[in-house]
Amino acid sequence: MTARIGVVTFPGSLDDRDTQRAIKLAGAEPVALWHKDKDLKQVDAVVLPGGFSYGDYLRAGAISRFSPVMATVIEQAKSGMPVLGICNGFQILTEAHLLPGGMLGNDHLHFICRDQKLKVENAETAWTLDYESGQEINIPLKNMDGRYVADERTLDMLEAEGRVVFRYVTGGEFADGFGNPNGSLRDIAGISNEAGNVVGLMPHPEHAVEPLVGSGRTDGLPFFTSILKKLVNA
């Protein structure tokens, strides 16, 4: 049976179609979900895509967190359903308290769009099984409010529990994709919940899934093959 992975569209979502395409390329069935509907259509996992939901008014993700669909996503995530939040989706996950910490405006106060080098810190989450710990990958990044912040106690907890999933690779030339692009504390690019079924990250793996589209790389495809492996072995 083909795995069904839902992709939620909010007002202002930009990357929902790209995410659906990435899911299809990985071999799963993408299922479009609308923000006003509580029904998840019996999907096996959910992706909250990138964009500027509700225009990022109040705070990025703050209004989307109260969309009807999120009540069901929160309930199912707490019961073990895999959920991936990409960029704006990551912001929504922090606003929904499915992931700790929060997102602030980039420290340089500018929108940034570039290829970004990441280090895989945790290859054991539901969304990273097809990576290797310590592997470096190149994933497109585009955000205005991408600075991950949390108090020292939370940061220490994330580090101690292995919940920092991705880190920006520092060193080298910033123009070549190295360096912290937004001032995120401890160079954190992505984190997970304690169970590892919920993952959020700022870069966009759906834009790196085939050679002729997006970045021209396939470094992002393992996100979507990883979840298939997780669902098959569940």
Quick: pLDDT tens for 102-127. Answer: 999 999 999 999 999 999 999 999 99
3-state DSSP assignment of residue 76: helix
Report, as residue numbers or ranges, the catalytic residues.
87, 204, 206
Residues contacting residue 127 through CB under 8 Å, at least 6 positions apart: 82, 84, 199, 223, 226, 227, 230
Reported as a single tens digit per residue, the pLDDT across 80-105 is 999 999 999 999 999 999 999 999 99
- 3, 6, 7, 10: CA torsion to nearest 10: 180
pLDDT of the residue at 59? 86
Reported as a single tens digit per residue, the pLDDT across 47-78 is 999 999 998 888 888 999 999 999 999 999 99
